[in-house]
Structure 1
Amino acid sequence: MPEHLELDFEKCREEADRYRLLAEQSTDMISRHAATSDWTYIDVNPAVERVLGYSVEEIIGAKGYDLFHPEDADNLLKRAETVRYRRGMYTNTYRYRHKDGHYIWLETTSRTIRDSHGDPVEIICVSRDVTEREMAQQAIRRLARVVEASSDMIMFCNHESMQLTYMNESAYRTLGTEKENPVVFYLDQIFEEHIFSTLVQDALSHAAEHGIWYGSVPLKMPANHHRIAEIREVIAHRNRTENMKVEYYSIIGRDITLKRKAEEQAKRQQLEMAHMSRLLSVGEMATGLAHEINQPLAAILNYCRGSLRRLEEGSSEENFAQISHSMQLITRQAKRAADIVKRMRSFVKRTDYQRIEFSVNESCVDVAGFLNQEAVDHNISFQFELDPTEPRLLADKIQIEQVLLNLVRNAIEAYSECKKTKRPVTISTKHANGYIDISVKDEGNGISKEGLDTLFEPFVTSKSTGLGMGLAISQTIIETHGGQLWAESDGSSGTQFHFKVPVRAN
């Protein structure tokens, strides 16, 4: 062999050895396959053992096609979405069976080697294990499907431009548009101006500082779009690879139309139950109320008869003075009767929930006056320990007085099976720590521990008459006002009911 040819041959052999060394040291699996439908292994580098679990000797001669997952075996023929073609090379991502029997994900770039006539000779492949990547991408895709199908509104908002860069189906639907006809939204467009400049900006600032914000901010709904929605959560996402600045926000909202309708329905039912309870209370007090009204009516009748007698006796200065005095007394008694009727009508009237500011002390005195005749009939005296600061409460006055009336009537009835001659009912008020505490105390026989456990359950009562709804309704009313109602008793020497409500009730 000529010397120059020998040198070329040596040079080629050295290059081949270098390529062989590179192939053997590569962490990617480099393999040669027969250009047939079964992809028989002709050669493979040692990375096959790390990737597929086979030794080089075990895999050479094996049919590569048989190791494909059945669903992925014909990806190249079908030009599946996982196949990419560029400059004579195919890149395919597919599932391939490991020696242990499980499937892993491989990404393979392959090229077909052809002879001078263009016929395929063999196929060279470079493959790498991308199982972790595929699992992560699958998790992302599953999460994306969950986000898209979520009934919550989910939006991504750019930190700088405030543009909503992504909105799921629920967000589009709630805001009155369709995903098929996308509209570019900016964050300030979906809130009232004063809400965006205050509540929304505060929420974004809090999320930027602490990572997340929870709360409730109402969205501005399109005209004639009779729905109610609000933002519940804002999450700040930072650029962790560079400057840790906030890149975008995830904003999560909810259409609360059905929830609000249910709340309104529940409130209407509560008002109806409260109204029924007041009617039942007045029915139970009918005898006492009739007696209380009869007193001023009887007085009016007597004064009228006396005045008629004076008129029959003839006119005189003395008779005129007596008649004038009688007219004043008649007027006073008529006003008293009218006040009793007015108070009763106000109490039993069906009303909506109405917050007004009123004096708690005055309500305690008024309720005691309303039950005065019933207290007199049972030889009961009212005692007051009222806060001298005259605390005022923002709440539904009728409902708070209804609770008071239920508790005071319970205190009066607590003496029905008690032989004590001294029968006080003490009504107390106290303003402390942003709450107004009101208590009604009796010195009857008390309530047993078992009785206390079921005291506020509906339809449970120790009375021979009544539905057992008074205390249950009272508890609901107080809780609706953001407060608490409870009872204390030693089971032998009396009971004290307490309820407290915030001074500025919601």
Structure 2
Amino acid sequence: MSIEQDLKAISDMDEGERSRFLVEQSTDMISRHTPTTEWTFLDVSPAVERMLGYTVDEMIGTAGYDLFHPEDADNLIKRSDSVRYRKGMYTNVYRYKHKNGHYIWLETTSRTLRDTEGKPIEVVCVSRDVTEQTLAQQATRRLARVVEASSDMIMFCNHKTMQLTYMNEATYITLGTEKENPVVFYLEQMFEPKTFASLVQDALNHAASHGTWYGSIQMQLPSGRDRTAEIREVIAHRNLNDDMQVEYYSIIGRDITLRRKAEDEMKRNQLEMAHIARLLSVGEMASGLAHEINQPLAAILNYCRGSMRRIEEGRISSVDEIGKSMELITRQAKRAAEIVKRMRSFVKKTEYQRMEFSLNESCREIAEFLKQEALDHNTSFEFELEGGEQLIVADKIQIEQVLVNLIRNAIEAYNDCEKNHRPVIISTRKAKDYVYISVADHADGISAEVLAKLFEPFFTSKSTGLGMGLSISRTIIEAHGGQLWAESDDQTGTQFHIKIPAKG
């Protein structure tokens, strides 16, 4: 039968037949109940079978009250939040028991029919299954509670105007404002102009193209806010139309004030420990440094005595004749001053200072600094430095502290070694974006057991020392984005390797 024939058949029915036909064909469940507390079914439409699994005959005469979920049975009496009243009709959302034993969510609009004296005759209800809709709303509410309670900053941003249309509690706290006194915020207000025009716009464009962006961009909070925050993630949300254009962005940020303070405190502690380690190193090198300074001082004393003796004996008759002696004295004085300058620079307590410098040059300077100690241990320096300067950008004093520590370890490795040839090999090379520095000796090596503990704090294989040198050295190198490790075969020597980012 065609649609036209169906419509003609319906129009040919009398009003009673037509009403009955529409009720039977409706996807909503239409039912009649007694106006008693049992709420017994008097009649129900065939939709009950699709909705609740019962046949019409099974439902007629059943106490409808018994099928309510225990928590929802008295919604109407208690006037729960799920109940609405309008023009003599109640609408209630509740859980109702299916024939299979589970509960579904129904939305029922009911009206009580009364006789001429106002006495209730029956209750007529129209019910529909809203399980999917209700569960979705519950999930949305749960998600909203999670978002609101999150310690992360969560914001929704209009993709055209850049206005923040929603901010959770954590965002209000970080910005120093209150939800009760709303202030209109725009995304560009939260960043420095250059940062917003470059980094933030790039993040939004990336999210629009790929769905999400992850990274770290520091925010500029309102003046007077002694806090630090950054955005970590941007999510682009699209409409469901054919064009699938971006409707808004979810922006997730984080207040990193406590983390930044902890990092600053850790950096201060690291600088303090590094300074103490340098002082200890100089203390251990004291005799060698004293000997190295005594050499130019003794030479100056000898040149002065020789010149005075020649003057007293009358062998110098003009100022020009003493010029050569003065030149020699000046050279030795500069040498002594340079030794003191290097020592003062090494032990000076400084803040972390990034600067560009040549690793090859630093290796030579440190070798010169430790020359006397090397001579006292009958060792010699051999350089295998790759051409060029091998530039890095780092804290020069800290990197040189690591080199001093590694080179002194290589010198002292020969203390209990009977070998005559005692080289300390210092090498550099560049590979891709890193510079590699190696300090090697040909002593007896280190056992695997000691090698595994070498960089642990307070571990030392020496009879003196605190065992902090290598631990601090590794901390310094890792703070510069590099790595420090050791290799040894326990027989023919040990190699310490540094990998650190090259300039650029």
Corresponding position of 2:24: 24
The answer to whether the 8 A contact 2:108-2:127 is kept is yes
The answer to whether the 8 A contact 2:275-2:348 is kept is yes
Q: CA deviation at 1:455?
A: 2.0
Corresponding position of 1:242: 242
For residues 425-464 of structure 1, what are the structure 2 equivalents within 5 Å?
Answer: 425-464=424-463
Q: Which moved more, 1:447-456 or 1:340-349?
A: 447-456
Corresponding position of 2:332: 333
Q: CA deviation at 1:480?
A: 0.8
Corresponding position of 1:98: 98
The answer to whether the 8 A contact 1:82-1:92 is kept is yes
Corresponding position of 1:7: none
Give the secondary-structure state (helix, strand or coil) at the position aligned to 2:203: helix
The answer to whether the 8 A contact 1:307-1:322 is kept is no
TM-score (norm 1): 0.93
Give the secondary-structure state (helix, strand or coil) at the position aligned to 1:497: strand
Q: Which moved more, 1:450-459 or 1:418-427?
A: 450-459
Corresponding position of 1:309: 309
Corresponding position of 2:6: none
Tell me which amino acid in the other structure corresponds to 1:304. C
Distance 1:141 1:300 in 2: 87
Give the secondary-structure state (helix, strand or coil) at the position aligned to 1:317: coil
Q: CA deviation at 1:332?
A: 1.8
Tell me which amino acid in the other structure corresponds to 2:482. G
Tell me which amino acid in the other structure corresponds to 2:256. I
Corresponding position of 1:299: 299
Corresponding position of 2:230: 230
1:493 aligns with 2:492: yes
Corresponding position of 1:353: 352
Unmatched runs of 5 consecutive residues or more in structure 2: 1-10
Corresponding position of 1:77: 77
1:462-498 Cα offsets, whole Å, 9 max, x none, are: 1111121111111111111111112222221112211
Give the alignment's Cα RMSD to 1 decimal. Answer: 2.0
Q: CA deviation at 1:326?
A: 2.5
1:136 aligns with 2:136: yes
The answer to whether the 8 A contact 1:32-1:41 is kept is yes
Distance 1:393 1:275 in 2: 22
Distance 2:352 2:179 in 1: 41
Give the secondary-structure state (helix, strand or coil) at the position aligned to 2:293: helix
Corresponding position of 1:395: 394
1:411 aligns with 2:403: no
The answer to whether the 8 A contact 2:316-2:322 is kept is no
Tell me which amino acid in the other structure corresponds to 2:446. I
Tell me which amino acid in the other structure corresponds to 1:107. E
Tell me which amino acid in the other structure corresponds to 2:141. R
Q: CA deviation at 1:254?
A: 0.8
Distance 1:199 1:352 in 2: 29
Q: Which moved more, 1:108-117 or 1:376-385?
A: 108-117
The answer to whether the 8 A contact 1:310-1:323 is kept is no
Tell me which amino acid in the other structure corresponds to 1:96. Y
The answer to whether the 8 A contact 1:445-1:494 is kept is yes
Give the secondary-structure state (helix, strand or coil) at the position aligned to 1:410: helix
TM-score (norm 2): 0.93
Tell me which amino acid in the other structure corresponds to 1:213. W
Corresponding position of 2:199: 199
1:233-273 Cα offsets, whole Å, 9 max, x none, are: 11111112331011110011111111110110111111111
Q: CA deviation at 1:45?
A: 2.6
Tell me which amino acid in the other structure corresponds to 1:464. S
Distance 1:438 1:135 in 2: 62
1:89-132 Cα offsets, whole Å, 9 max, x none, are: 22110122334444322111112222233332111111122222
Corresponding position of 2:154: 154
Tell me which amino acid in the other structure corresponds to 1:74. D
Q: CA deviation at 1:315?
A: 6.7
Corresponding position of 2:5: none
Distance 1:232 1:303 in 2: 69
Q: CA deviation at 1:364?
A: 0.3
Tell me which amino acid in the other structure corresponds to 1:153. M
Q: CA deviation at 1:321?
A: 5.1
The answer to whether the 8 A contact 2:391-2:503 is kept is no
Distance 2:276 2:173 in 1: 41
Distance 2:372 2:320 in 1: 33
Corresponding position of 2:176: 176
Q: CA deviation at 1:375?
A: 0.4
1:288-308 Cα offsets, whole Å, 9 max, x none, are: 111111111222222222223
1:386 aligns with 2:391: no
Distance 1:122 1:390 in 2: 98
Tell me which amino acid in the other structure corresponds to 1:349. K
Corresponding position of 2:212: 212
1:374 aligns with 2:366: no
Distance 1:248 1:221 in 2: 22
Q: CA deviation at 1:275?
A: 1.1
Q: Which moved more, 1:61-70 or 1:494-503?
A: 61-70
Q: Which moved more, 1:158-167 or 1:139-148?
A: 158-167
Q: Which moved more, 1:391-400 or 1:428-437?
A: 428-437
Distance 1:411 1:48 in 2: 89
Q: CA deviation at 1:30?
A: 1.8
